[in-house]
Homo-oligomer: A and B are copies of this chain.
Amino acid sequence: MSDTAHILKKHHLRQTNCRQQMIAHFSAHSYALAHSELEQALSEFDRVTIYRTLYTFLEKGIVHKVLDDAGATRYALCAHCTEHQHHDEHVHFKCMQCQTVQCIDTISIPNIQLPQGYSYIDSNFLVRGVCRQCNQL
């Protein structure tokens, strides 16, 4: 069974064309994808279908949301998440030159001490800078 099929099966989702191609597209890219990018790449599917598929993937822990300072939300494959809990406490890096946002899985988000009375659920850490590729130009 293909990788994409396996991911869907693992999360008890039906094997549909759109889902398979979306997962394949995520796998083929090392950076986080915006809705608009998926829409362009997979133009055979309706915008709403992609929208709803992203929602399903989020719920099931197949992808996680990646914050971007430029409006549109991005998404990237999760490494070890389940339907019940996301575990994506790694840093995200946005290159201000090529505008891509990537997961830096090797850097986990440092623990911080919240003020009295505040409780922690999760966090999202976006670092802006210039990526390796763009620095080498």
Interchain CA distance A127-B50 in the complex, whole Å: 28
Interface size on A, residues (CB 8 A): 35
CB interface residues, A 1-21, toward B, < 8 Å:
none
Give which listed residue, B69, B71, B107, B128, contacts A112 with CB less than 8 A: B107
Known contacts A67-B69, A124-B69, A125-B125; is A115 also within 8 Å of B132 by CB?
A: yes
| Stoichiometry, copies per complex | 2
* Chain A window 46-73, contacts with chain B (Cβ cutoff 8 Å), 1 for yes, 0 for no: 0000000000000000000101010101
Q: State in angstroms the CA–CA spacing of A113 and B125 once bound together.
A: 13
Whole-angstrom distance from the CB of A132 to the nearest CB of chain B? 3
| 4 nearest A-B residue pairs (beta carbon) | A117-B132, A110-B110, A123-B127, A120-B129
